[in-house]
Amino acid sequence: MRILHTEWSDGWGGQERRVLSEMTGMNARGHFVALATRPQCRLRVQAEAAGIPVLTLPRRAGLRLDPSAAAIFVRAAHRGREYAQRRR
């Protein structure tokens, strides 16, 4: 299974710990797991340390998310598919 978690929080609390636990657990079971988040997200650092691929999504002033993020998601889906096929 290919799983892409998205997280927008900058904090480090229960939600972020749960997401990290789910990602590492699913990764250990052989699933492809990645995280899409903002550059300043604390979970990004923890996920990278755990070996989880991270997609950093751009922000544009005045917008919560840069419209170019859609293209990043599409490329990530294709890369994830290729990665999953190589892992088998």
Q: What is the CATH number of the domain that holds 40?
A: 3.40.50
Local structure of residue 36 (DSSP, 8 states): E
**Predicted local distance difference test score (pLDDT) of residue 87:** 41
- Nearest 5 degrees, angle CA 61-CA 36-CA 40? 55
Identify the residue with better confidence: 64 or 39.
Answer: 39
57: helix, strand or coil? coil
Pair 35, 5: CB distance under 8 Å = yes
**Predicted local distance difference test score (pLDDT) of residue 62:** 58
CA dist., res. 46 & res. 23, Å (int)? 11
Look at the chain and report how many structural domains it folds into.
Answer: 1
**Predicted local distance difference test score (pLDDT) of residue 29:** 95
pLDDT at 88 over 50: no
Full-model pTM: 0.71
Average the pLDDT over 29-57 and give the result.
90
Determine the structural domain holding residue 38 and report its residue range.
2-87
pLDDT at 80 over 70: no
